[in-house]
Structure 1
Amino acid sequence: MKALVYNGPRDVQVMDMPDARIERATDALVRITRTNICGSDLHMYEGRTDMKPGRILGHENVGEVIEVGAAVDRVKVGDMVSLPFNIGCGFCENCERGLSNYCLTTNPGLAGAAYGFADMGPYHGGQAEFLRVPYADYNCLILPRDAAEKQNDYVMLSDIFPTGYHATEMAQLRPGESVVIYGAGPVGLMAALSATIKGASLVMVVDTHKDRLALAEKIGAVAIDDSEGGGIERVMELTGGRGADCGCECVGYQCCNMHQEEVPNLTMNNLVNAVKFTGHIGCVGVFVPQDPNGKDKLQRRGQMAFDFGMFWFKGQKLGTGQCPVKGYNRFLSRLIEQDKVKPSWIVSHELPLDQAPQAYKNFDAREEGWTKVTLVPNG
């Protein structure tokens, strides 16, 4: 099969790889019809993780089931399915608690597994023609009949739409409240969409990329351009000096200042200052235990200078970690089915798989207009 393979930092290539296949009775084999490039793929692409060469990338996947193992009961050949990036077993203690993002059996020695991701198990990703799905009855979300016509919407259910929603959940956003979202990338835009769905009175999105901020304005969010600083002051102005009721961190450890220099603690410390006393912060941006190519000693150890004193003084609360996609994807799919939301509004490029290396290069360079790339491996 054709697949996008990681060879090393900023070196990915579409290659012929052994076909994905059924390996256990609980597996399904899926023909991938849409697969996205995620912002967190760029951490691996840039060599900022310990991703091993030879791995197939891609954890945002939609496709058609073409084969099932003997023990698969619910999922049928011909089903169109969305695949959570988390790979869960469904029967461990964490999966039973709804924490499929920290499954205890699919990544021995750690908690949590994913397709094509560093430190999250041996599983190949879906930027390929075919994908093996473990524990298929648990992991496959069977999509409605309109799936073929709305693939660019439903593929967002595999990661960024639930992840954006999860950020607002950890921030404990309630109807009528205000929220400030740092990051107008795909996840930040999904957090803004989720905040709108949940009835926020004021949704503020802070970034330095004008093209992405323009997308936030399309759904009624207030875009705050922080390219010259002053983002916190603008939040205070819009909230009468008290700060937002809650906030979402949707950038991660490679966040940059106005000069496009990496400052890992920037967004977290800005949120401490931009969110009110006793407010909640939801952090879904990726932060890693080690960053081998980090600029300084703290970065390389996965640490940062967090303004804990002010965080403590303001009595704020913080929720962190990857999204348990299965906790949200079913009801979010119904919003897509009923045309209540259309998350594909952020898609800037729909490309064949063989153009993936150039797409990674452009997306990594944050070129204007490259907001979200979806790949079509099979036609």
Structure 2
Amino acid sequence: MADTNRGVVYQGSGTVTVEDLDYPELTLHEQNGRRLQHGAILKVLATNICGSDQHMVRGRTTAPVGQTLGHEITGEVIELGSDVEFIKKGDLVSVPFNIACGRCRNCKERNTGVCENVNPARAGAAYGYVDMGGWRGGQARYVTVPYADFNLLKIPADRDTVMAKLTDLAMLSDIFPTGYHGAYTAGVTTGSTVYVAGAGPVGLACATACLLLGAAVVIVGDMVDSRLEQARSFGCETIDLSAHGDLPEQIEQVLGVPEVDAAVDCVGFEARGHGKDAGEQPATVLNSVMEITRAAGGIGIPGLYVTGDPGGVDENAQVGQLGIRIGLGWAKSHVFTTGQCPVMRYNRQLMMAILHDRVQIARNVNATVIPLDDAPAGYREFDQGAARKYVLDPHGLVNA
């Protein structure tokens, strides 16, 4: 008899609960009417709370009540569809948050964040996320993964090694590749000076990626003291954006010039203006990074922007139409890269960096393990600005 399943469910603005869920099946009529002979069922070993989840839980998306949550999944394969050839039962795997078919033009070009076949509404799908194809979330004891041979990254190490590094490997499903994508597409390389907007988990992962890529100076800006302290703990310079609003002046105090080679927006559409009493100004980060990035520099934008925000500050913000100074970016010949990170471009290389001790991503993002049933408390603490990356432990196996 199959084990029971439980998972995290959105219950309306500000509220999540942990509920009994149906055990996954490989015949899933509620998931786009597909029979998943190409899929696998995973026992979830670790699954994380993401800032993107927090946008939903705050009521800042059109997510319906009853939406299951969770797109950062690391697990053990326990059941396979009849068409799966290469993934085997017992494999320990990382799951890219992008769901991809491996067959369409975008997947063949490695643009797996915008797969054309897994979401009837638009290109691109993800587990447990609003408007992303109706796939069940992975903040649960068990979850189904479609197109298993294509999507799953097998971790090539013995079980003891994987379990010992599980909090690091758990970052491969989203935030580490996402932070790396922001840095890489901004052109960060040996000797770069970089500004990272936001010291949440993705911002800290991006700062880690910048250092891994060889940046000379990484400056992280945020308004929460504990998050800035976390950034300093692994060698970043920091700027307290709540102190005053003159970002170029603060950059100059660090570098001697008021500009950087590259910048990365790790905040997204709930950005606040700079200064102590500033309210929400969703275009703040986009405009500020154009201001302080040198001419011909690059800007990575992994921070989330949405097309529907019921809590937006005005009618334009509610449909994702922001007051961006595109003329400034044009005049400075900036290169912008936006959208979901295509995780498969990076996850294998980053996995090898973890397995061979080239990076300490769990330490840098302050990974904090909590039981699955404590997820509501984790969401509350994260919403209050906790300088932590919460890792849910559905089976009590992390660090066991």
TM range (shorter): over 0.9
Q: Root-mean-square deviation (CA), in Å?
A: 1.3
One-letter code of the match for 2:259? G
Summarize the alignment of residues 129-144 of structure 1 with structure 2, pairs less than 5 Å apart.
Answer: 129-143=141-155, 144=157
Mind listing any 5+ residue stretches in structure 1 that lack a counterpart? none
One-letter code of the match for 1:63? G
Q: How far apart are residue 320 of structure 1 and its match?
A: 0.7
1:103–1:112 Cα contact (<8 Å) kept? yes
Other-structure match for 2:125: 113
Other-structure match for 1:12: 16
Q: Once structures 1 and 2 are overlaid, which stretch shifts more, 5-14 or 117-126?
A: 5-14
Other-structure match for 2:382: 363
Aligned length: 377
1:347–1:374 Cα contact (<8 Å) kept? no
Other-structure match for 2:176: 161
Does structure 1 residue 149 correspond to structure 2 residue 153?
no
Deviations 1:165-219 (A, max 9, x none): 0001110112111111101111111111111011111111111111111121122
Other-structure match for 2:362: 344
Mind listing any 5+ residue stretches in structure 2 that lack a counterpart? 28-35
Other-structure match for 2:240: 225
TM-score of the two chains, using structure 2 as the length reference: 0.92
Q: How far apart are residue 274 of structure 1 and its match?
A: 1.1
Q: Secondary structure at the match of 2:101?
A: coil
Other-structure match for 1:68: 80
Partners in 2 of 1:101 and 1:363 — Cα distance? 26
Other-structure match for 1:241: 257
Partners in 2 of 1:244 and 1:211 — Cα distance? 24
Q: Secondary structure at the match of 1:297?
A: coil
One-letter code of the match for 1:349? T
Summarize the alignment of residues 1-379 of structure 1 with structure 2, pairs less than 5 Å apart.
Answer: 1-23=5-27, 24-143=36-155, 144-145=157-158, 146-229=161-244, 230-241=246-257, 243-257=259-273, 258-259=276-277, 261-345=279-363, 346-366=365-385, 369-379=386-396
1:164–1:187 Cα contact (<8 Å) kept? yes
Partners in 2 of 1:339 and 1:371 — Cα distance? 21
TM-score of the two chains, using structure 1 as the length reference: 0.97
2:249–2:258 Cα contact (<8 Å) kept? no
2:121–2:133 Cα contact (<8 Å) kept? no
Q: Secondary structure at the match of 1:233?
A: helix
Q: Once structures 1 and 2 are overlaid, which stretch shifts more, 246-255 or 289-298?
A: 289-298
Q: Secondary structure at the match of 1:118?
A: coil
1:236–1:274 Cα contact (<8 Å) kept? no
Partners in 2 of 1:365 and 1:260 — Cα distance? 17
Q: Secondary structure at the match of 1:110?
A: coil
Partners in 2 of 1:157 and 1:372 — Cα distance? 13
One-letter code of the match for 1:246? A
